[in-house]
Chain A
Amino acid sequence: MTMIFGVPVAVFMGQLMLGLINGAFYALLSLGLAVIFGLLKIVNFAHGAMYMLGAFATLLGMQYLGIGYWAALLLAPLVVGALGMVIERLLLRRIGHLDHLYGLLLTFGLALIFEGSLVNVFGVSGARYPTPEALQGGLQLGFMFLPTYRAWVLVAALVVCLGTWYVIERTRLGAYLRAGTENPALMQAFGVNVPQLITLTYGFGVALAAFAGVLAAPLYPVSPTMGSNLLIVVFAVVVIGGMGSILGAVLTGLGMGLIEGLTKVYYPEAANTVIFLVMILVLMLRPAGLFGKEA
């Protein structure tokens, strides 16, 4: 059997693939955080809860309304995104003029409320969501076995990330977003409804988290705490990539997933901490993050 540094190729590639899948989730979530932070300057601690709500919406939609996976892929982000817009409109907007720390506290509180309420109803053990029929099975690539669903997650996450990057960097709406991030008052003086832009941006960032939640539902147990477990790592990813950088969030997300996967192969004990080690290193050497601009 072919070996790579003393590890069978299949094992090596398998872990790399797992790392890449995790990385895709990191990328989707940190992308949403970066988009939200850019315009609202709020560190959205409710992001994990929104991811979890996306997964729950998928699960409950199937159980109670008979909504299938593909419909959920569209509907769950819409529903959770709408919830996000309501949260922005009713809560976040009221504290927009205060120190950004209040936004962090408020969203953290919201996350606890969402989590706690769902724990009350469903418990913490979590439920399984079946892999959609069309994506069952896998491909034998010769050097490794690739489950179809995982390949799909990777492709879907990358397409959404690139699409988001394209919209923000290459379109007029994106130019509004970037300009609004820099100088919201002047954007208003040009006739752009900035408060509305902020609501839509928050809704969109949250919808990205919910989309990740739908993708995650067939992979991981759907439980009220699934978001908070992931969010800590995602914040480390955001710190490494640099707050507010779109492409940085995506690349760092994927990269950190890979590093995690590689660590699992060679030194499994450190797999859960390696991202935080990288974070410490980056903070020491480049405090603004790999892709962040020095203030």
Chain B
Amino acid sequence: MNQLAEQTGVTHYRDHDGAEMLRVSDLHAFYGESHILHGVDFEVRRGELVTLLGRNGAGRSTTLKSIMNMVGRRTGSIMINGNETLDVKPHRIPRLGVGYCPEERGIFASLDVEENLLLPPTVRSGGMSIDDIYAMFPNLYERRRSQGTRLSGGEQQMLAMARILRTGARLLLLDEITEGLAPVIVQALGEVLVKLKERGMTIVLVEQNFRFAAPLADRHYVMEHGRIIEEISAAELPSRREHLHSLLGV
């Protein structure tokens, strides 16, 4: 049974020793006939936390899904850890050390909390132990026997993130993790992200909540109409805040 999860086939993925974790070049993505991404270019260095900002429908979630090969068709190039992944099957992508947390959280109703937590197969060594995870998310420990979807929204979000930390993923793609959550939970999530950065994780954060993302991120990419239109580093942020607000319409 573990073969199902653990076979990586003949391809042996290598760890790039350079500083670059993810490079997306001229990425186009399609759902059926609709052309969603129109040449997305960005890169993320090892250990960085980078946000994809933009209005609804700008293509931020689709960018993450494209990296996971969950959309219909893709062209261009997506290099993960030095490996071209455009022709890699969806279930092989996590093996490159990628963890994905979908916008809808994707907690499984037919599994209890601990089953949800243990569900994603280990993709690499060096993941967090279950004890470490429970230490980081004490609520999940208390509710480990509850049905996954009985949790509160905040707890479900914690669970959706916690379960990809166990797998040894080093590149986390997090889609709208603060959406619809109370400020106190959002703050807790921010603290979690800081801890993950300290552990050397590389994080791509799709966010609507700019105030949440601003103090955490090293760089921001702004998307519009399926393209990256602006790159703003943390250092440039104070002087360009007004400009950014006008881009995001906040």
Contacts and interface: CB of A to CB of B under 8 A. Distances in A.
Interface of A: 172-173, 175-176, 178-179, 181-183, 185-186, 188-194, 196-197, 200
B118 A172 contact: yes
Nearest to B160: A186
Nearest to B164: A190
Given A172-B1, A173-B1, A175-B111, A188 B90 contact: yes
13 contacts: A172-B118, A179-B108, A183-B108, A185-B70, A188-B70, A188-B91, A189-B93, A191-B95, A191-B123, A191-B167, A192-B121, A193-B5, A193-B7
A190 B119 contact: yes
B95 to A, nearest CB: 6
A197 B94 CA distance: 17
Contact of A191 (B91, B109, B110): B91
B205 to A, nearest CB: 17
A191 B108 contact: no
A46 to B, nearest CB: 24
A194 B119 CA distance: 14
B91 A192 contact: yes
Interface in B42-99: 68, 70, 90-95
Dominant secondary structure of chain B at its interface with chain A: loop
Nearest to B94: A191
A244 B111 CA distance: 15
Contacts of A182: 108-110
B21 to A, nearest CB: 18
Nearest to B123: A191
Interface string B93-125: 111000010100010111100010011110100
Contact of A175 (B70, B118, B123): B118
A186 B91 CA distance: 9
Contact of A178 (B70, B111, B120): B111
